[in-house]
Amino acid sequence: MFDTLSARLTAIFDRLRGYGRLTEENIQEALREVRVALLEADVNFKVVKGFVERVRDKAIGQDVLRSLTPGQQVVKIVHDELVELLGGSGHRLAMAPHPPTVIMLIGLQGSGKTTSAAKLGRHFQRQGQHPLLAAADPYRPAAVEQLQTLGAQLGIPVAGSGKQRPLEICREALSAAADRGLSPVILDTAGRLHIDEPMLEELRVLKNELRPHHVLLVVDAMTGQDAVTMAERFNRAVGIDAVIMTKLDGDARGGAALSIRQAAGRPIAFVGTGEKPDALEPFHPDRMASRILGMGDVLSLVEKAQATVDEAKAEALAKKIREESFTLEDFADQLKQLRSMGPLGELLEMIPFFKGAKGLPTELRGEEAELGRYEAIIGSMTPEERREPPIINGSRRNRIARGSGTSVQDVNRLLKQYAQLKKMMRGIRQMEGRAGKLRQALPFPPP
């Protein structure tokens, strides 16, 4: 997702950062390129216009041009505006004070409602909650069965049968949830091929009668600007709180994701990134903006790693991050784990130093060979060098390169990336500190 746009923007800003001094003309030119890149990514043209104007107003301020790092500052302005475009601080689903929390999914046929209902169930289950799915689509014979199959796979109960009316199904599900202490209740409603009045009326009735805490519209990212139009229309006709954008994995451009908040006035709460029940991510505008600008997405990577690496190891790593005692030995361990964590390309894309690393040949990025070389370099170090990388001077670098069959440049690169990683870890630690305090201040845990 966002691959093309990300490559274009990264190139534009790499060039901008390369200039020692910036003129107004440099910025205007870069912004013209940004505008084209956004339009080519299928972002709504009004959204693009507003975005470029806001960035221009801020970037041409005297302070930016006169600063020591003007290019860097412009990138920061673009980053901050991208975060706003994507929804600011993000949209979390608060749990109701009196359970069950009711989440109603609506959307066109094939947009991914049923799949998303199961994924959401999985998401809440992982957080220690006990969700209930309700199959409120009695019209299509296979619909109830589809949800039941998914529920059975995940061990999540499913209410509803093909013989009842949707309102009846939902009411029964709510009372069953209250009786059995299940929450949230996720309502999977019926979709139609097009928006039509009977469909809207049915959704309005369900909404009025059931008073769901969250109405989420499911839209397919691959339909591009149609997804944005759908969000506008559903919002006007029924009223929605937020959007689940599915199939972002199949959409290299990402125009809908970048437009929907501004154009339809509703934020993205989750994105679907695959067909499997795990392929759902809470949408973090700041992380997404960093990813688009090639700054990587370390926090998402850490979360993904935490879900995969076993608890004890994760705790040991967290301790090292806290105590800033992460050595090259640990780095080698992490590389090994990376290799066992599945789709390497996907993971590496989230790490800035792999994605943006200068001199790392494009065709090698995400290749096992690269990780293998790093392991070999670390393998050629003495235990002392691994624990105390600053002692690795010129002659030690030579020896390590010879010993591992690599070059001094390779060794330098590895050491530089290790230093960057340590710096990033310090950043994560600070962020975690803040997030922890925030979490303690909340009356209920965020999803």
Ligand X SMILES: Nc1nc2c(ncn2[C@@H]2O[C@H](COP(=O)(O)OP(=O)(O)OP(=O)(O)O)[C@@H](O)[C@H]2O)c(=O)[nH]1
Stretch that binds ligand X, among 105-113, 370-378, 387-395, 428-436 (CB under 6 A): 105-113
Residue 135 sits in the site that holds ligand X (CB under 6 A): no
What is the distance between the alpha carbons of residues 316 and 225, in angstroms, rounded to a whole number? Answer: 46
In the complex, minimum distance from the CB of residue 271 to ligand X, in angstroms, rounded to a whole number: 8
Helix (H) / strand (E) element for 315: namely helix 311-323
Residue 50 sits in the site that holds ligand X (CB under 6 A): no
What is the distance between the alpha carbons of residues 278 and 32, in angstroms, rounded to a whole number? Answer: 39
Q: CB nearer to ligand X: give 138 or 157.
A: 138
Residue 274 sits in the site that holds ligand X (CB under 6 A): yes
Contacts 24+ apart (CB under 8 A), 359-363: 359/409, 359/413, 360/413
Residue 189 sits in the site that holds Mg ion (CB under 5 A): no
Q: Determine which residue in the list 101, 111, 114, 334 makes contact with Mg ion, applying CB under 5 A.
A: 114
Judged by CB under 5 A, how many residues of this single chain contact Mg ion? 2
Ranges within 378-437 binding ligand X (CB under 6 A): none
> Both ends of the chain: CA-CA distance in Å?
24
In the complex, minimum distance from the CB of residue 329 to Mg ion, in angstroms, rounded to a whole number: 50
Residue 162 sits in the site that holds ligand X (CB under 6 A): no
Which distant-in-sequence residues (6+ apart) come within 8 Å of 168 by Cβ? none
Alpha carbons within 13 angstroms on the beta-carbon side of residue 57 total 7
Residue 304 sits in the site that holds ligand X (CB under 6 A): no
Q: Residue 101: which of Mg ion, ligand X, none does it interact with, CB under 5 to 8 A by kind?
A: none
What is the distance between the alpha carbons of residues 260 and 65, in angstroms, rounded to a whole number? Answer: 32
What is the distance between the alpha carbons of residues 27 and 13, in angstroms, rounded to a whole number? Answer: 10
Say if residues 203 and 190 touch (Cβ distance below 8 Å): no
What is the distance between the alpha carbons of residues 349 and 332, in angstroms, rounded to a whole number? Answer: 19
Q: CB nearer to Mg ion: give 133 or 298.
A: 133
Ranges within 277-296 binding ligand X (CB under 6 A): 279
Stretch that binds ligand X, among 18-26, 111-119, 203-211, 262-270 (CB under 6 A): 111-119
| Interface contacts to Mg ion, rule CB under 5 A | 113-114
Point out which residues bind ligand X (CB under 6 A).
107, 109-115, 137, 140, 143, 191, 218, 246-247, 249-250, 272-275, 279
